[in-house]
Structure 1
Amino acid sequence: MADSASRILAFAEHALSSPFPLRVRAWDGSEAGPSGAPALVVRRRRALRRLLYRPGELGLARAWVAGDLDVDGDLYTALDLLSGLFWDRDEPETPPTALRSLRRTASALRDPATYRLAREALALAGPGLPPVAPQEEVRRRAGIAHTKRRDKEAIAHHYDVGNDFYGLVLGPSLVYSCAVWPELPQGAGTLEEAQRAKLDLVCRKLGLREGQRLLDVGCGWGSMVLHAVEHYGVRATGVTLSVEQAALARKRVADAGLTDRIEIRVQDYRDVRDGPYDAISSIGMAEHVGSERYLEYAQDLYALLAPGGRLLNHQIGRRPLRAEEEYRIDEFIDRYVFPDGELAPIGVTVSRLEEAGFEVRDVEALREHYARTLRAWVANLEANWKQAVAATSPGRARVWRLYMAASAVSFERNRIGVNQVLAVRTPADGRSGLPPTRRSWLS
């Protein structure tokens, strides 16, 4: 087995029908592949068993989360090189059943070269049953998606992993959404400054004024409501499904001496009944709503606004599909990061808001800004790795590193985007109250 790396490389290239772009370094110290490229480090034979029992993205994810796989070299370069082989490949429209997988495998093994490589891969992987999935994985859920109970469970999986962990990753601002940077892709500005700039941009787009009521849907750790109250004099309510987020948000509000002007609730947005509000911010929350519920989401927010009230919807979007394509949930994201999360194209989002009665007045794309934000979060995580692992688990820290780095690459390569949509509940007389140009929120 002294040449394990070359055997792994041969099997990968045969399975992918393409040259493998990374070097491979195996558990026995052997290496193979293009010199100068980042190395895919196969730390244990178990990684191969994971891939043999579950080929594709989920097998890779499980091996990564368990620490069976790693990357030596620039992670962004490695992910960019791999994305065309795994994440951008066409996948079956339906998940493979055991019978379908057996039939496909039997058909492939009729080819002598495939049969030989398969035998070698099995020998390399070693004996044993399918490895148990890492504890950080969420099993497939049964029943109807986006019920209140299931949404609360999904939010808890993602956000209730420890406020200390998020503090290390996000920095003092505790803002878990795209920042707005003065220069791109690099240049002046810190993460804290860029997050303050984003919060202020949202406040200006909403036209916040002293004495108004603001509802922040998916308020996180309270950063938006704190900024709006401190700098614009509004009264604010923030709602979240995360118990841990709410606890820290309330502490931050108390520390700022603003408990008489800010209320933080553990509450589903569908249960908010104390409108009307003058403005609603929804920043990085709508990705959790789901396509089947999106019109309901838009209608609920519309009903909570006073005539002339504004909504700022800040949301990640995917590219539209071709006519013959079917939307596929990303298995790694669904199992490890955002259970039941769904991305929609910006055109669909705008259409649903308009169907609910909103007048959409402005759309701003911030794709490159999110790529830089994610790189800043990854840098924070890597700089505080030991503390992050202690605050959660090694597997959870590895999930977040892979998820954020891969997302940065996706934004940089225009596979996904992020947009701020400003919409208004225009009164019957047609007077929206919006300024004639964007100048009021650009300065």
Structure 2
Amino acid sequence: MAVAPRLAALTEQLLGAALPLRLRAWDGSETGPPGGPVIVVRHRRALRRLLFKPGELGLARAWVAGEIDVEGDLYAALGLLLAPIQAERDIPPRQKLTIARELVRLAGPAAPVPPPPPREEVARRTGPLHSLRRDRQAISHHYDVGNAFYELVLGPSMVYSCAVWDDDTDTLEAAQTAKLDLICRKLGLREGQRLLDVGCGWGSLVLHAARHYGVRAVGVTLSEEQAVYARERVAKQGLGHLVEIRVQDYRETADGPFDAISSVGMAEHVGAARYREYAERLYGLLRPGGRLLNHQIARPPRADESSYRVDPFIDAYVFPDGELAPVGRTVTLLERAGFEVRDVESLREHYALTLRRWVHNLEARRAEATRLAGAGRARVWRLYMAASALSFERAGIGVNQVLAVRLPVAGGPGLPLRPRAWTERGTVQERTQRPERPERQQPAAPARAQAQEQPH
């Protein structure tokens, strides 16, 4: 009997529903509804992976190794498959045994031997969870894969977080500039203030803040490759008198107080067990009345929070040791650390648009991406970004900017009476097309006495 119908029958037993798209097997046989995307099982080794790691991790390994692929619209295929795969249907033990026996027959004589994981899978992690050493290992796995690869995916902005879109925004670069400027306005940055950017990436935010707001900015990252790239950008733009890039954990930063702190797409790496420590550490680095902008991906709350498990594909291939929390928990822990939370803005739909642009960049230059990072790494990125875009679109996950203030507020004009006024203060183009500030040989004097100024 041809392989494809047998695979389809097994898949339908696992999903508890009819296979929603066409399937092609390694012997050339096909089955399923025509006219849509096609799942291609290129090698029987994919079935061996499922035998030893049933579920999402086995499928992910087969995808990364190129043993499973999609022909046609990847978004459409994932949209049809994600919900039933993630449902984790409870299959009776006798049916599981029947499925396993059929998988063994289809997998061939090598089935008793587990295939080694693709080399892109994170190596064995050492040390306690979210210790300084282990966090450095996790960050290096994801970010130290070549700056040229990130340039290809992220585009000229080199911003690896959710952009902010308007109806008339037509480029990813404009949307990322809008996000950077929105953060600066929410933080109320003024010339001469000190800004700490926790998890500064390739330096885009500190460069924007220094060039357009005249702040003295410190960016910290655990990625050596990011730091090298960011320092080159600082030097090229002549902002060395205002911007410092450090390879440093935020827990090792000790030269506060800062007038403002930004943490954009970094808190997801902190972990639930360490989040209170994270919030208290940032609180201690701010001056009284200083502002924190915490930009963080969130998941929906669960009735039983103890049932939350990190996504196995993301943990093994994308963000090792990363954890998502509901936005309510984030707000609560910031408040317990002493912050007053002043504004929470959801940007969920914006991240879906951003991810689709990143996927487009990758697919438009897939051969070059493969050359730069390897076929497996390029496949990891394509799958995780496309699946994440769908999750944001369907509210499976969200992203929020939380603006908080360190108490006590030491006088001064404070925040605007209507905090969202920062979204009404002219366009980003008006702000960023003004004449550049003249370079100064010496850093501007600190302006800590100006507590809580109105946003620019």
Task: Normalising by structure 1, report the TM-score.
Answer: 0.92
Change in 2 beyond 3 A, CA 1:77/1:440: same
The residue aligned with 1:286 is 267
Change in 2 beyond 3 A, CA 1:208/1:428: closer
Counterpart code for 2:375: P
Q: Kindly state the Cα deviation for residue 322 of structure 1 after the two structures are TM-superposed.
A: 1.4
Q: Kindly state the Cα deviation for residue 325 of structure 1 after the two structures are TM-superposed.
A: 6.1
Q: Kindly state the Cα deviation for residue 324 of structure 1 after the two structures are TM-superposed.
A: 7.5
The residue aligned with 1:95 is none
Q: Kindly state the Cα deviation for residue 139 of structure 1 after the two structures are TM-superposed.
A: 4.3
Superposed CA offset, 1:185-230 (max 9, x none):
xx64210000000000000000001110000000000000000001
Match of 1:123 among 105, 130, 137: 105
Secondary structure at the residue paired with 2:317?
Answer: helix
Secondary structure at the residue paired with 2:241?
Answer: coil
The residue aligned with 1:97 is none
Alpha-carbon distance in structure 2 between the residues aligned to 1:430 and 1:229: 26
**Alignment check: 8 A CA contact 2:15 2:89 kept:** no
Match of 2:155 among 162, 171, 188: 171
RMSD: 1.8
**Alignment check: 8 A CA contact 1:21 1:37 kept:** no
The residue aligned with 1:138 is 122
**Alignment check: 8 A CA contact 1:238 1:265 kept:** yes
1:296 aligns to 2:277 (yes or no): yes
**Alignment check: 8 A CA contact 2:293 2:404 kept:** yes
The residue aligned with 1:437 is 418
Alpha-carbon distance in structure 2 between the residues aligned to 1:120 and 1:8: 9
1:36 aligns to 2:49 (yes or no): no
Unpaired runs of 5+ residues, structure 2, are 425-456
The residue aligned with 2:52 is 53
Secondary structure at the residue paired with 2:229?
Answer: helix
Alpha-carbon distance in structure 2 between the residues aligned to 1:335 and 1:237: 31
What are the within-5 Å matches in structure 2 for residues 61-72 of structure 1?
61-72=60-71
Match of 2:199 among 218, 232, 237: 218
**Alignment check: 8 A CA contact 1:426 1:432 kept:** no
Alpha-carbon distance in structure 1 between the residues aligned to 2:88 and 2:350: 26
Alpha-carbon distance in structure 1 between the residues aligned to 2:143 and 2:300: 26
The residue aligned with 1:98 is none
The residue aligned with 2:94 is 108
Deviation larger for 195-204 or 75-84: 75-84
Task: Normalising by structure 2, report the TM-score.
Answer: 0.89
Deviation larger for 261-270 or 139-148: 139-148
Match of 1:397 among 378, 384, 393: 378
Q: Kindly state the Cα deviation for residue 141 of structure 1 after the two structures are TM-superposed.
A: 3.6
Secondary structure at the residue paired with 1:359?
Answer: strand
Identity %: 66
Aligned residues: 422
Alpha-carbon distance in structure 2 between the residues aligned to 1:259 and 1:139: 37
Match of 1:199 among 153, 160, 180: 180
Alpha-carbon distance in structure 2 between the residues aligned to 1:434 and 1:108: 63
The residue aligned with 2:22 is 23
1:379 aligns to 2:360 (yes or no): yes
Superposed CA offset, 1:218-247 (max 9, x none):
000000000000101111000000000000
Alpha-carbon distance in structure 2 between the residues aligned to 1:271 and 1:190: 37
Q: Kindly state the Cα deviation for residue 142 of structure 1 after the two structures are TM-superposed.
A: 5.7
Change in 2 beyond 3 A, CA 1:71/1:401: same
Secondary structure at the residue paired with 1:311?
Answer: strand
Alpha-carbon distance in structure 1 between the residues aligned to 2:305 and 2:162: 32
Q: Kindly state the Cα deviation for residue 384 of structure 1 after the two structures are TM-superposed.
A: 1.1
Alpha-carbon distance in structure 2 between the residues aligned to 1:224 and 1:341: 22
Secondary structure at the residue paired with 2:19?
Answer: coil
Alpha-carbon distance in structure 2 between the residues aligned to 1:9 and 1:246: 48
Change in 2 beyond 3 A, CA 1:224/1:79: same
Alpha-carbon distance in structure 2 between the residues aligned to 1:212 and 1:339: 35
Superposed CA offset, 1:238-289 (max 9, x none):
0000000000000000000011110000000000000000000000000000
**Alignment check: 8 A CA contact 2:314 2:384 kept:** yes
Counterpart code for 2:74: L
Superposed CA offset, 1:87-139 (max 9, x none):
24368xxxxxxxxxxxx99x426x9xx63x54443222112111110000014
Secondary structure at the residue paired with 1:84?
Answer: helix
Q: Kindly state the Cα deviation for residue 67 of structure 1 after the two structures are TM-superposed.
A: 0.2
**Alignment check: 8 A CA contact 2:125 2:137 kept:** no
Counterpart code for 1:5: A
**Alignment check: 8 A CA contact 1:25 1:39 kept:** yes
What are the within-5 Å matches in structure 2 for residues 219-238 of structure 1?
219-238=200-219
Q: Kindly state the Cα deviation for residue 298 of structure 1 after the two structures are TM-superposed.
A: 0.5
The residue aligned with 1:9 is 8
Alpha-carbon distance in structure 2 between the residues aligned to 1:61 and 1:439: 42
Alpha-carbon distance in structure 2 between the residues aligned to 1:271 and 1:176: 23
Match of 1:423 among 395, 404, 415: 404
Alpha-carbon distance in structure 1 between the residues aligned to 2:410 and 2:143: 43
Counterpart code for 1:404: M
Q: Kindly state the Cα deviation for residue 17 of structure 1 after the two structures are TM-superposed.
A: 2.0
**Alignment check: 8 A CA contact 1:136 1:396 kept:** yes
**Alignment check: 8 A CA contact 2:127 2:133 kept:** no
Superposed CA offset, 1:405-430 (max 9, x none):
00000000100000000000132667
1:158 aligns to 2:139 (yes or no): no
Superposed CA offset, 1:67-101 (max 9, x none):
0000111111111111111124368xxxxxxxxxx
Superposed CA offset, 1:147-191 (max 9, x none):
0000000000010011000000000000000000003xxx64210
The residue aligned with 2:238 is 257
Superposed CA offset, 1:342-369 (max 9, x none):
0000000000000000000000000000
Q: Kindly state the Cα deviation for residue 323 of structure 1 after the two structures are TM-superposed.
A: 3.2
Counterpart code for 1:169: V
The residue aligned with 1:344 is 325
